[in-house]
Amino acid sequence: MDIIKTRKLNLYYGTFQALKGIDMDIAEKEITAFIGPSGCGKSTFLKTLNRMIHMVPGVKITGEVSYRGKDILSNTIDETNLRKNIGMVFQKPNPFPMSIYDNIAYGPKLHGNTNKAQLNDLVEKSLRGAALWDEVKDRLKKSASGLSGGQQQRLCIARALSVSPDVLLMDEPTSALDPASTMKIEELMIELKKDYTVVIVTHNMQQATRISDKTAFFLVGELIEMGKTDDVFSLPKDKRTEDYITGRFG
């Protein structure tokens, strides 16, 4: 089933058109990877999916974006609730300057959960979900800034999981990490797709081939090609996709 759909999506930063008529269907409980050279619009598109892009002054959007059939471009949408359902993990790990425990409990508290026992369970469940529990269970009250980069990124994933999201958007989540931490996050993503829909922006072609089910290739604001990852990386339909993934440009 397709969980997110966009139709004729155009996005302008002032007079500059960053997205041009994007039609896309994102399937539930799959990993969809966005690839393309810098400035092609893939991160902009990702941020449109949970309205993060609305924070940018001067942004104008036309077309349709729906999440589970609901128009998310509508002015009446509850943004906080939308971002609870469609969580986001960024390129650089950005733990809050507080303890590991509080990093995870912050979201659920914000959404009204103050029951201590429930919060304890939720923290453990989220950290387990992000494959971090065993590494931090004895220092939950310590500051999150003491964690390694890879652990911090998994903490951010755990934080996103703590509010029981439906979709996880990840903007180059491993580009600031070493190979071992990258591998852990990739393994985690494959685990996560059993329960969540994952959309990831990546500059790492091998990462896209390793973990994603579908791949979408963007170029100067256009969606050039989208299909099964195996197809896109073995027999791309568009020559521009072929040229990009084989490193002929970009």
Partner 1 sequence: MINSRQNFDTELEELSEDLIKMGESATTAIDRAIDAFHTGDKELMKKVVKGDRKINEMERNIEQRCLRLLLKQQPVASDLRKISTAIKMITDIERIGDAAADIAEISLHLNIPSSLGVLEDITNMAKIAREMVSDAIDSYVKEDLDLAQKTREKDDLVDEHFLRIRGILGEKIREDIEIMDEAMDYVMIIKYLERIGDHAENLCEWVEFYKTGVYKYERIL
**Residue closer to partner 1, measured from CB, 196 or 244:** 244
Instruction: Choose which of 80, 115, 120, 246 interacts with partner 1 (CB under 8 A).
Output: 246
Return the range that interacts with partner 1 (CB under 8 A); candidates 83-91, 130-138, 153-161, 202-210.
202-210
124 forms beta bridges with none
DSSP secondary-structure letter at 177? Answer: S
245 interacts with partner 1 by CB under 8 A: yes
Instruction: Choose which of 36, 108, 165, 236 interacts with partner 1 (CB under 8 A).
Output: 236
Instruction: Choose which of 205, 213, 222, 227 interacts with partner 1 (CB under 8 A).
Output: 205
How near is the Cβ of 243 to partner 1 at its closest, in Å? 9
One-letter amino acid of 215: T
How near is the Cβ of 238 to partner 1 at its closest, in Å? 11
How near is the Cβ of 186 to partner 1 at its closest, in Å? 15
CB 137 within 8 A of CB 114: no
One-letter amino acid of 83: R
CA angle, 53 then 130 then 211, to 5°: 70
**Residue closer to partner 1, measured from CB, 195 or 231:** 231
| Separation CA 171–CA 91 (nearest Å) | 5
How near is the Cβ of 235 to partner 1 at its closest, in Å? 4
CA angle, 121 then 123 then 124, to 5°: 65
238 interacts with partner 1 by CB under 8 A: no
**Residue closer to partner 1, measured from CB, 62 or 246:** 246
Instruction: Choose which of 209, 220, 222, 227 interacts with partner 1 (CB under 8 A).
Output: 209
Q: Which residues contact 225 (CB under 8 A, 6 or more apart)?
A: 216, 217, 232, 236, 237, 238, 240, 241
**Residue closer to partner 1, measured from CB, 87 or 236:** 236
Q: What contacts 24+ positions apart, CB below 8 Å, involve 14-19?
A: 14/58, 17/221, 18/44, 18/221, 19/44, 19/45, 19/48, 19/221
**Residue closer to partner 1, measured from CB, 29 or 237:** 237
**Residue closer to partner 1, measured from CB, 5 or 210:** 210
Q: How many CA atoms lie within 13 A of 128 on its CB side?
A: 6
**Residue closer to partner 1, measured from CB, 60 or 239:** 239
Size of the site for partner 1 (CB under 8 A): 13
CB 5 within 8 A of CB 27: no
Residues of the shown chain interacting with partner 1 in the complex, contacts defined by CB under 8 A: 205-206, 209, 230, 233-236, 242, 245-248
